[in-house]
């Protein structure tokens, strides 16, 4: 398959790109900053420049081209403002879904976060706005089952530990952590198996082998 990874220079995105290429897929890596192009080419990806905060769905649909699946892994990142949590983590995900629909790309995987629906609606704290942004984006994606074969992945606290290859998944799981490499492996398995269609789940480190856990979704 040819898979577009939006937010392609993020840590999970880069790990995912490597894993997808190792599995024989081709990767279009969508990034905002042209300075990241060379390093993504070194990974083996085909970089495309797009600013989600400036693009229209039509613009992005043209840049995605003829891909078979889209992974939304973009985010404003640590240290960003509450406003950018909304314009990128929420609105960027929605714009990407709009673009996928315009380009007739059904498979759409979102990297969200554990516990996002517990946000405090009355708080303007940046973290609470981040949770709100993810929650509202996820809700929008869940309403697109007629046109998108979506999956929403909500990982626990992210670490840079080595991959374990084992996870715990469920609609809701006890909060915990998970290596970014394992999150990438879960997404790669979802795409390979065409699993988890119209499913939203939380995932942390656990005892079940990733392939087995994904197969049960």
Stretch 73-92: mean pLDDT, rounded? 94
73 vs 5, 55, 70, 146, CA distance in Å?
7, 17, 9, 22
Is residue 77 over pLDDT 90?
Answer: no
Catalytic residue among 130, 189, 204, 214: 130
* Predicted structure pTM score: 0.96
Pick the closest to residue 196 from 147, 142, 151, 141 (CA basis). 151
Question: DSSP letters of 67-99?
Answer: -SEEEE-----TT--HHHIIIIIIHHHHHHHHH
More confident residue, 80 or 99: 99
Instruction: Specify the DSSP class assigned to residue 161.
Output: P
Stretch 88-99: mean pLDDT, rounded? 98
Stretch 94-122: mean pLDDT, rounded? 96
pLDDT value at residue 78: 84
Cβ density class 61-92: b for 16+ within 10 Å, e for less:
bebbeebebbbbbbbbeeeeebebbbbbbbbb
d(CA 27, CA 63): 13
103 vs 66, 147, 152, CA distance in Å?
8, 11, 20
More confident residue, 65 or 137: 137
Is residue 79 over pLDDT 90?
Answer: no
Pick the closest to residue 28 from 85, 81, 96, 101 (CA basis). 96
Q: Tokens for 71?
A: 């992974």
pLDDT tens-digit readout, 48-72: 999 999 999 999 999 998 899 999 9
Determine whether 127 is an active site residue: no
Stretch 161-184: mean pLDDT, rounded? 98
Complete domains list, the chain, with CATH: 2-215 (3.40.50.720)
pLDDT value at residue 7: 98
pLDDT tens-digit readout, 138-164: 999 999 999 999 999 999 999 999 999
d(CA 12, CA 17): 8
pLDDT tens-digit readout, 6-34: 999 999 999 999 999 999 999 999 999 99
Dihedral in degrees, nearest 10, Cα atoms 3, 4, 6, 9: 80
Mean pLDDT of the chain: 97
pLDDT value at residue 65: 86
């Amino acid at each position: 398959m040819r898979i577009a990874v939006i937010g392609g220079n993020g840590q999970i995105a880069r790990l995912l790109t490597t894993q997808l290429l190792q599995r024989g897929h081709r990767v279009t890596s969508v990034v905002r900053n042209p300075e990241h192009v060379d390093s993504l080419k070194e990974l083996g990806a085909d970089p495309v420049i797009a600013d989600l905060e400036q693009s229209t769905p039509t613009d992005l649909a043209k840049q995605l081209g003829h891909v078979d699946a889209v992974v939304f892994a973009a985010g404003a990142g640590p240290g960003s403002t509450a406003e950018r949590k909304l314009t990128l983590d929420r609105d960027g995900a929605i714009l990407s879904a709009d673009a996928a629909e315009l380009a007739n790309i059904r498979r759409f995987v979102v990297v969200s976060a554990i516990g996002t629906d517990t946000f405090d609606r009355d708080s303007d704290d940046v973290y609470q706005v981040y949770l709100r942004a993810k929650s509202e984006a996820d809700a929008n994606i869940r309403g697109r089952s007629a046109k998108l074969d979506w999956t929403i992945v909500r990982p626990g606290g992210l670490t840079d530990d080595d991959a374990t290859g084992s996870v715990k998944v469920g609609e809701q799981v006890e909060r915990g952590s998970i290596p970014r490499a394992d999150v990438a492996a879960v997404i790669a398995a979802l795409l390979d198996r065409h699993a988890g269609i119209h499913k939203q789940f939380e995932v942390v480190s656990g005892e079940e082998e990733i392939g087995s856990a994904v197969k049960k979704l």
